Structure 1
Amino acid sequence: MTPGAEPGSGFRWPEALCAPVRELPDHARLWVALSGGLDSTLLLHLAVHCHGRTGTVRAVHINHQLQPNAPDTESFCRDLCDRLGVPLVVERVNVAAAGNAAGGGGIEEAARKARYSAFEALIQRGDLLLMAHHGDDQAETVLFRMLRGSGVAGLAGMPASRPLGPAILARPLLGFERAELEHWARSAGLTWIDDPSNTDQRFDRNFLRHTVLPPLRERWPGLNRRLRHTAESCAESEALNRKLAAMQWQAVGGDRDRLPVDGLKKLPLAEQKNLIRWWVRERGFHAPTIADWQQVIHDLLFAGEDREPEFRSDGFSLRRFQGDLYLVRDQPPLQDVPLALEPGPGLNFGEWFLRLEPAITPERPLPPIRIFTRQGGERVRFRPDGPSRSLKKWLQEVAVPPWERARLPLVFAGSGEAAELIAVGDLWCSEQYSGGAHAAGWRLVVERECD
């Protein structure tokens, strides 16, 4: 712990430091992400100083349970918030298991994901979450992303504010260097906890912070300012790229999860890449870093009509089907055993929700209702007195993409060989179980989740 005390009665926070903390977007509650370190401790004091009278300031501490001093840090945060009269929420997350399963980011990336997931689960619409990232952090971020081969969006660095779930995340200290913040914290006599992991150079950011950046700053004074200008220029370019992509999305007829291939083919490669990256980010995913975008796009757009090209990324895939490029969200596997559907609250089946409700007073008992996925050979009878048809051929005719066919809930009434297909997802439902449902007395409701 770095020694110190609370600000004395004669200490005054400088207006230059207070201004960005005071001039925040409108909010219902103001949260400060409190790690216990220098930066977040200072930020909490500033938030209380600037907004304490409103009674909206709260703090959240994420205990990653990775460091030996994690309990001491949590206790420090509790004591600090007690002294300041700030309500504190402590969230303990299990990062170790996630780190073992993480990709190239390892434990660092797993901790970041766990931290932000906890934030999103806590904050509500109208809330504002403050994080204490400063100019040195921004310089590290820009350099780190450059070394990873990031494009313009990555080199834009951390934005001063952005949406976070239903709320807003803001970084009011980005315009200050760490040395300035430490000077003010020591002048105020603040106490904080030093994270021992910040000196472990096995982590990439610590290596940049302690080994790479110091000689660069010695050679090029004002390096933070130079990298900040680079980030601002890249942010401007990225804003123009997004505006262009949104215009082209409208022009080619994009529709949420579908992008017409013919319209995409008319664009130059650079604009194809820009539009696809924008589309992926708009749907809530990280745009993939692809070494050979040209080959990927060529495969997706120009593979033979009998082919089903696919590009897989983190959490989603891009697939082509009948003249459209689809963005397909990864889904957990479905149960491989049929489910019984009873009258009542209903049940979930993958991304579907099904329930049975009485349409009229039933005149006869409800036959067994079972939910299956396609096994092959199913036939559907659209009218009670009509012929049956191959379900496979019908799904092809109505242009259901192949990856969706395998996840459609097929609902059967009856048992054994007498079981009759009465619904195919939300595409078709037998008149006996839809509308007035006078034949069966029960109405089948099938709904698909919309993200």
Structure 2
Amino acid sequence: MTTGAEPGSGFAWPDLLCDPVRSLPEHARLWVALSGGLDSVLLLHLVTACHKNRVPVGAIHVNHQLQPNAGTTEGFCRQQCQALGIPLRVETVTVDRGRSGAGVGGIEEAARKARYRAFEALVQADDLLLMAHHADDQAETVLFRLIRGSGVAGLAGMPRFRSLGRGHLVRPLLALERSELEYWARKASLTWVDDPSNDDQGYDRNYLRHAILPGLRARWPGLIQRLRHSAGACGESQQLNDRLAALQWQSVADGQGRVSVTGLRALSLPEQKNLVRWWAREHGYPAPVVADWQQVMTDLLAAGVDREPELRADGFSLRRFQGHVYLVPTPSALPDESVELLPGRPVSWGPWQLQLEPVANPESARPPIRVSTRRGGERLRTHPDRSSKTLKNWLQEQSIPPWERARLPLVFAGSEADGELIAVADLWCSDRYSGSAPAAGWRLIVTRECD
């Protein structure tokens, strides 16, 4: 634990620190991400001085359970908030070490994801979550992404303001160097906890912080601010890239969230890459990392009509069907076996929700109704006066993309051996189970959430 002198009273924070904390977007509530370190403790005190008694202020501490002093740090955060009269929310998370990748770098990334999931679950509409990242953190981020081969978007570093869950995230101290923050923290006699993992150079960022940046700063004393300005310039370039992508989207998209293959082919390769990255970010996914964009776009746009080319990325894939490219979220798992559909007990099936409700003669006999996926050979009769047709041919006629056909919930009435197909997802439902007065006395309702 590190401290200056014993905390005094009536300390006047300088405008250098208060101005960026006061200059926040419109909000109904403020949250401070409190790790217990110098930066976040300083931010907590600044927010308390500038905003307490004006808007509700709270703090959130995420306990990753990774360090021996995790419990001590949590207790310290509780003491700090209690002394300031600030409510504290503690979220204890479990970092899956087995799936976090090789080495401490993988654990570091897994912990970051767990932390942000906790933040996203906390903030509500009109909430702001404030984080204490500063100019040194920004420099480390830019250098780290440069080493990883990031493009302009990555080299823009951490944004000062961005959406987070239903609210937004703000980094008000991003223009200030850590040395400035430490000077004022000691001046105010603040106390904080030093994370022992910050000295472990097995973490990439710590290696940059301790082994690389000191030498660079000794050679170029203004390095941190220079990198901040470079990140700002990259950020401006990315804004222009996003603006271009948004304009081109209007000419290549079809109004249903799909992109025309012909429209994409008309763009240059850099424009195609820019549009795909923008498209992914607009849906909340990270931009895809691709080794050979030329080959990927050729496969996606020029493969034969009998092919099903696919670009897989983190959380989604791009797939082509009938002259369009679709952004397809990575599907969730479906039940392994058929599920019985009972009144008052809705069934979730991927993005679909199915429910059965009585509308007349609820005491009348109800055949067993179950939900399943395709097994092959299913037939349906879309109208009593028409002959039946295979489900396979009907789905093709409806232009349902191939990757969706195997996941559609099929609803059967009757026994497992000779049940009648009465609904296909939200695409079709038998008249006997739909409408204002279904003949079966039961109404089947199938809805689909937006992907």
User: TM-score normalised by the shorter chain: which range applies?
Assistant: over 0.9
1:298-332 deviations in Å (ceiling 9; x for gaps):
10000011100011111111111111111111112
User: Are the aligned partners of 1:257 and 1:328 in contact in 2 as well (CA < 8 Å)?
Assistant: no
User: Residue 358 of structure 1 corresponds to which residue in structure 2?
Assistant: 358
Task: Give the partner amino acid of 2:378.
Answer: E
TM-score, length basis structure 1: 0.97
1:82-103 deviations in Å (ceiling 9; x for gaps):
11111111111111x2x32134
User: Residue 85 of structure 2 corresponds to which residue in structure 1?
Assistant: 85
By how many angstroms is 1:6 displaced? 5.9
User: Are the aligned partners of 1:340 and 1:370 in contact in 2 as well (CA < 8 Å)?
Assistant: yes
Please tell me whether residue 102 in structure 1 is matched to residue 100 in structure 2: yes
Task: Give the partner amino acid of 2:276.
Answer: I
Residues 80 and 381 (structure 1 numbering): CA distance in 2 closer, same or farther, change over 3 Å? same
Rounded to whole Å, the distance in 1 between the matches of 2:363 and 2:75 is 66
Please tell me whether residue 326 in structure 1 is matched to residue 337 in structure 2: no
Aligned to 1:243, what secondary structure does the other structure show? helix
User: Are the aligned partners of 1:4 and 1:186 in contact in 2 as well (CA < 8 Å)?
Assistant: yes
Rounded to whole Å, the distance in 2 between the matches of 1:220 and 1:24 is 32
User: Residue 40 of structure 2 corresponds to which residue in structure 1?
Assistant: 40
User: Residue 272 of structure 1 corresponds to which residue in structure 2?
Assistant: 272
Residues 408 and 10 (structure 1 numbering): CA distance in 2 closer, same or farther, change over 3 Å? closer
Please tell me whether residue 118 in structure 1 is matched to residue 118 in structure 2: yes
By how many angstroms is 1:9 displaced? 3.2
Rounded to whole Å, the distance in 1 between the matches of 2:438 and 2:445 is 15
User: Residue 420 of structure 2 corresponds to which residue in structure 1?
Assistant: 420
User: Are the aligned partners of 1:265 and 1:301 in contact in 2 as well (CA < 8 Å)?
Assistant: yes
Identity of matched residues, %: 66
Residues 130 and 328 (structure 1 numbering): CA distance in 2 closer, same or farther, change over 3 Å? same
Rounded to whole Å, the distance in 2 between the matches of 1:133 and 1:381 is 62
Rounded to whole Å, the distance in 1 between the matches of 2:449 and 2:197 is 42
Rounded to whole Å, the distance in 2 between the matches of 1:169 and 1:426 is 37
Task: Give the partner amino acid of 2:100.
Answer: A
Aligned to 1:450, what secondary structure does the other structure show? coil
Q: Which runs of 5+ in 2 are unaligned?
A: none
Task: Give the partner amino acid of 1:129.
Answer: L
Task: Give the partner amino acid of 1:40.
Answer: S
Residues 199 and 250 (structure 1 numbering): CA distance in 2 closer, same or farther, change over 3 Å? same
User: Are the aligned partners of 2:30 and 2:55 in contact in 1 as well (CA < 8 Å)?
Assistant: no
Q: What pairs up with 1:114-263 in 2 under 5 angstroms?
A: 114-255=114-255, 257-263=257-263
Rounded to whole Å, the distance in 1 between the matches of 2:420 and 2:134 is 64
User: Are the aligned partners of 1:339 and 1:372 in contact in 2 as well (CA < 8 Å)?
Assistant: yes
By how many angstroms is 1:254 displaced? 4.2
Task: Give the partner amino acid of 2:447.
Answer: E
Task: Give the partner amino acid of 2:229.
Answer: H
Rounded to whole Å, the distance in 2 between the matches of 1:285 and 1:45 is 34
User: Are the aligned partners of 1:100 and 1:106 in contact in 2 as well (CA < 8 Å)?
Assistant: no
Task: Give the partner amino acid of 1:144.
Answer: F
By how many angstroms is 1:436 displaced? 2.6
By how many angstroms is 1:401 displaced? 0.6
User: Are the aligned partners of 1:431 and 1:437 in contact in 2 as well (CA < 8 Å)?
Assistant: no
Rounded to whole Å, the distance in 2 between the matches of 1:129 and 1:114 is 16
Aligned residues: 449
Task: Give the partner amino acid of 2:122.
Answer: L
Residues 227 and 340 (structure 1 numbering): CA distance in 2 closer, same or farther, change over 3 Å? same
Rounded to whole Å, the distance in 1 between the matches of 2:253 and 2:319 is 17
User: Are the aligned partners of 2:135 and 2:178 in contact in 1 as well (CA < 8 Å)?
Assistant: yes
Rounded to whole Å, the distance in 1 between the matches of 2:333 and 2:426 is 20
1:24-61 deviations in Å (ceiling 9; x for gaps):
11211111100000000000010111112225111111
By how many angstroms is 1:293 displaced? 0.8
Q: CA RMSD in A?
A: 1.4
User: Are the aligned partners of 2:4 and 2:187 in contact in 1 as well (CA < 8 Å)?
Assistant: no
User: Residue 348 of structure 2 corresponds to which residue in structure 1?
Assistant: 348
By how many angstroms is 1:7 displaced? 4.4
TM-score, length basis structure 2: 0.97
1:165-210 deviations in Å (ceiling 9; x for gaps):
1111101101110001001111111100000000100000000000
Q: Which runs of 5+ in 1 are unaligned?
A: none
Rounded to whole Å, the distance in 2 between the matches of 1:362 and 1:439 is 12
User: Are the aligned partners of 1:198 and 1:206 in contact in 2 as well (CA < 8 Å)?
Assistant: yes
Residues 6 and 414 (structure 1 numbering): CA distance in 2 closer, same or farther, change over 3 Å? farther
1:339-374 deviations in Å (ceiling 9; x for gaps):
111111422122210011123335831111011100
By how many angstroms is 1:437 displaced? 3.9
User: Are the aligned partners of 1:200 and 1:206 in contact in 2 as well (CA < 8 Å)?
Assistant: yes
Rounded to whole Å, the distance in 2 between the matches of 1:31 and 1:210 is 30
User: Are the aligned partners of 1:433 and 1:441 in contact in 2 as well (CA < 8 Å)?
Assistant: yes
Aligned to 1:176, what secondary structure does the other structure show? coil
